[in-house]
Structure 1
Amino acid sequence: MEALFTAVGLGFGAIFVGEMGDKSQLMALTFATRYRLRSVILGMFIAIAILIGLSVGVGAALGNFLPTDWIRLAAAVLFIGFGLWALRGEDDDDDEHAVKERRSGLLTVIGAMLLAELGDKTMILSMALGSQNNPWGVWIGATAGMLAADLLAVFAGAWVARHIPERFIRWGSAVVFIVIGVFLGIEATLALTG
């Protein structure tokens, strides 16, 4: 039982600190300005639990077989697409469209978080921790640590959504997604060509 609690603490601490300032926090903040808080939190929880579970389950032994550079390149294209989509704006008279968009936030959050974090330092760290410690403890601790770090950004994003005009949020979201996409693309391209 002590090994489980040690793994939980180790997983929580390592991932919480590792997530500070990471792209997933920027994404969480941006999603919180655009979608319902409940959808963002649930989407993040699902994506994080899957990612950390996959990382711990796979372990360090299979980590080299994941095509992370190609996944990063696909994520880059997706993020740039999200940024361009955010620029399109919304028709204020189209309430039905706005309700559908808020509902679709859950799948958007899950998909974006999964793609952005696949092959990221969080996943690699979880693999390493899971290969050397109690895997259930690492999964619980790392999932809680990543969720806690990203929730800080979600609540900041919810505050921004209440206090900043929608057009600034839309442009800010677009810039954040495009910048993340460009950086992911550069990172993937350098890894694939280097």
Structure 2
Amino acid sequence: MGLSLIEGFTKSLAMTVLSEIGDKTFFAAAILAMRHPRKLVLAGCLASLIVMTILSASLGWVAPNLISRKWSHHVTTVLFFGFGLWSLWEGFKEESESEELAEVEAKLNADWKAETGSNKVNTKGSDDLKKQQRPFLTQFFSPIFLKAFSITFFGEWGDKSQIATIGLASDENPFGVVLGGIIGQALCTTAAVIGGKSLASQISEKMVALSSGILFLVFGVQSFLSAAGES
């Protein structure tokens, strides 16, 4: 079982980049960056993804202590094959490639209209009162930072990339998985924030899904062969 830092790093980096490009959180970061200061959006999204990566890798690191390493390895192998087939199915099924982008944009547009509508009703006097009654966290963090953080965090929770990170960290060096995951998330999120909607709309979700499916299957075969070689 490969526990080297380099192997965990490279697997995590490749998996993260292919999983996050064209993901809902990628589109959300791109759209938010068009309406709010890029620095705040980038900081909020990255902070959320770093927390999520560390949390997922920690769960994967703890897993072998809860169940035997042999069984955690088998579960990881099944996950890789499962996610590989799932991604290939998503790539081959006939759906519009812009469907996910349109879905995210519609949701953020609804939130945006609700926010601007409520802001028009407020007067200057009520703004000062509202500022005093603002929740504790927003006294220290910008509401835009918190919005980007929360949208990204809950968008990633339970996503296949999170579960795959847990499985990868249980089978590889968790520090390498964290480092590769953070760098991969930083690359994808920075591209989304800087490139904006134009970049997001040009991404072929089909090719990304097929590429990530092949990568997961390669990881699955490698994991299966390493298990067979140990027996």
TM-score range, shorter chain: 0.5 to 0.7
2: distance between equivalents of 1:57 and 1:103? Answer: 28
Deviation, 1:131, is 0.5
Pick the aligned partner of 1:157 from 175, 196, 203: 196
- How far apart, in 2, do the equivalents of 1:82 and 1:156 lie? 18
Deviation of 1:85 after TM superposition, in Å, equals: 2.4
Q: Which residue of 1 aligns with 2:28?
A: 27
1:157, distance to aligned residue in structure 2 (A): 2.0
Contact 2:46 2:185 in 1 (8 A): no
Whole-Å separation in 2 of the counterparts to 1:8 and 1:20: 18
Counterpart-to-counterpart distance in 2, 1:3 and 1:129: 12
Deviation of 1:28 after TM superposition, in Å, equals: 0.7
In 2, Cα distance between the equivalents of 1:81 and 1:20?
19
Given candidates 163, 167, 170, the residue that maps to 1:124 is 163
Instruction: State the TM-score, normalized to the length of structure 2.
Output: 0.53
Q: Output the TM-score relative to the length of structure 1.
A: 0.62
User: Which residue in 1 is equivalent to 2:182?
Assistant: 143
Question: Displacement of 1:159 after TM fit?
Answer: 7.7
1:37, 1:158 within 8 Å by CA — same for their partners in 2? no
Q: Superposed, which structure 2 residues align to 1:1-194 within 5 Å?
A: 3-59=4-60, 61=63, 82-88=108-114, 89=116, 103-157=142-196
Q: Any conservation in 1 of the 2:19–2:161 contact (CA below 8 Å)? A: yes
Equivalenced residues, count: 141
Post-superposition offset of 1:81: 7.0
Change (3 A) 1:157 1:80: closer
Q: Which has the higher contact order (CA 8 A, sep 6+)?
A: 2
Query: Does the residue aligned with 2:4 lie in a helix, a strand or coil?
Result: helix
Please give the per-residue CA displacement for 1:122-156, whole angstroms capped at 9, x wherever unaligned. 10111111001110110110111122112211112
The one-letter code sitting in structure 2 at the alignment partner of 1:86 is W
- Extract unaligned runs of 5+ from structure 2: 67-104, 132-137, 200-231
Pairwise CA distance, 1:103: 3.4
Report which of the two structures shows the higher radius of gyration computed on alpha carbons.
2
Q: 1:19, 1:149 within 8 Å by CA — same for their partners in 2?
A: yes
Q: Which amino acid aligns with 1:18?
A: S
Q: Contact conserved, 2:31 with 2:197, CA < 8 A, in 1? A: no
CA distance in 2, matches of 1:38, 1:57: 28
Match of 1:125, SS state, is helix
Which letter does structure 1 place at the counterpart of 2:164? L
Post-superposition offset of 1:84: 2.4
Distance 2:147 2:41 in 1: 9
Deviation at 1:31, TM superposition (A): 1.2
Change (3 A) 1:10 1:150: same
CA distance in 2, matches of 1:147, 1:27: 15
Confirm or deny: 8 A CA contact 2:53 2:181 kept in the other structure. yes
Is residue 27–residue 197 contact of structure 2 (8 Å, CA) maintained in 1?
no
